[in-house]
Amino acid sequence: MISFLNKTLVLSLACLVSTRYKIQAYTMVSPAGPCRGPGGVNDKVNHRSAIEHSQEECEAECSALDNCVGFSYCAVCNGGECILHGEGLDGTCSDPSALNEVACEGLGTCEFPDQTTEDTCGTCSESTALSETLCIVVGGTWLKGSWQSASAVWEGPEDPWTGGSHHSTVIKGTTEEANSNYVCLDADLDDHFAHCIGDDASCNFQDVSEENRILENCPSICTYVPAPVAPREKPPHAGDIKLPGWDAAMSGACRGGPDHTDKVNGKYSNTAGADGVLTQSECADECLAEADCLGYAHSTAWCIVYGPNLHETPGDGWTGDNHAEVKITGTKANPSYICVTGPPRNVVDEVNKNDPEDATSSGNHLAHYSPRSYAFFGLVLIWRAMS
């Protein structure tokens, strides 16, 4: 009788456990460090965190949540720091269309229906700048539109958990530290890959390498699910330094063609500056040094100088970029870039027209230019004197 009761109790406990916890196996991801998403070592994964947990308790909490894809754990941090990763673990918004805290707090409507965020609700005096942030970058004047907040409310996870909203919801790696107190344990080593799904047995990427998990290898009767990717970070340009004589900067990368979609012939570099990456002033100087230069695009990483035939002899540290289009007609939206046209070569003509006293004053207009620019202006003056 006692034996029968003991077996019944064990079976009952097993049943209770199976209803609360998924049967789950976790794989430790190496090298050491907290879990990260498809975007690399800085791509944090959506999460909730709590302290004073053992690793066993952390694992049990993850197994109890359908959306938990793994966890990060540090035994010596805050008495045992537990970070559970997965979609929706950071909290919920009163408007379910918002999937994270930032999106929830940013919900609202603008008087201009096509402008869906408060930062884009308005107009800039420079028409290529489509947000207040980018308007400031190009030195324009922003006219703010009427924005009505949706007053959506974000509610974080229940105590003792604290939510952390991030784009990525799957684990791909770690912070890859040589020595870290954190470990990362992944519940699904394949969830960051592309998948081929469906009822037919052929709808399966099992044992298929990552590079071969492509649409062409998924039969038409199946559904292809591409691998999750992290959003590309495009930090806004630091701001136009307004070199004298040039046209006003436009927001975005320079483009040609009637719809501003064609790349323009030229050359590019991210190493030819005095310290490697070119400053805006160095980028402008390179344009002035090229007789056929029409303008330049500059970002925190790259300088692109545009003009016919510039690709043929790009020079040390530069790469030619050959395209049919040779005129800049507008820009492609990209917050990291500004596009500047109108090289001020006519400044030299103005100096020649003035009398010596005025030329001295006009020379102050050139004070911002580097020695390389002065050399260019000097060559132009010599050429004019000989002609």
The pLDDT tens digits for 237-261 are: 999 999 999 999 999 999 999 989 8
For residue 361, how many other CB atoms are within 10 A of its CB?
10
The predicted pLDDT at position 373 comes to 47
Residues 32-62 as b or e (16 or more Cβ within 10 Å = b) = bbbbbbbbeeebbbbbbbbeebeeeebbebb
Alpha helices in 222-355 (DSSP H): 280-289, 346-353
Whether 5 maps to a domain, the answer reads: no
Residues 357-369 have a mean pLDDT of 37
Q: How many CA atoms lie within 13 A of 237 on its CB side?
A: 32
Whether 162 maps to a domain, the answer reads: yes
Same domain, 188 and 285: no
Same domain, 370 and 306: no
Same domain, 359 and 246: no
Same domain, 69 and 164: yes
pLDDT at 12 > cutoff 50: no
Same domain, 56 and 177: yes
Q: pTM for the whole thing?
A: 0.62
- For the chain, what is the domain count? 4
Instruction: For residue 117, name the pLDDT band (cuts at 50, 70, 90).
Output: very high
Distances (CA, A) of 316 to 278, 320, 323, 369: 13, 11, 20, 22
Same domain, 53 and 183: yes
Structural domain including 209 reads: 195-225
Same domain, 69 and 187: yes
The predicted pLDDT at position 16 comes to 33
Give the type of residue at 20: R
Same domain, 177 and 32: yes
Whether 150 maps to a domain, the answer reads: no
Give the type of residue at 146: S
Same domain, 365 and 338: no
Same domain, 162 and 297: no
Whether 201 maps to a domain, the answer reads: yes
**CA-angle at 357, arms to 351 and 360, nearest 5°:** 55
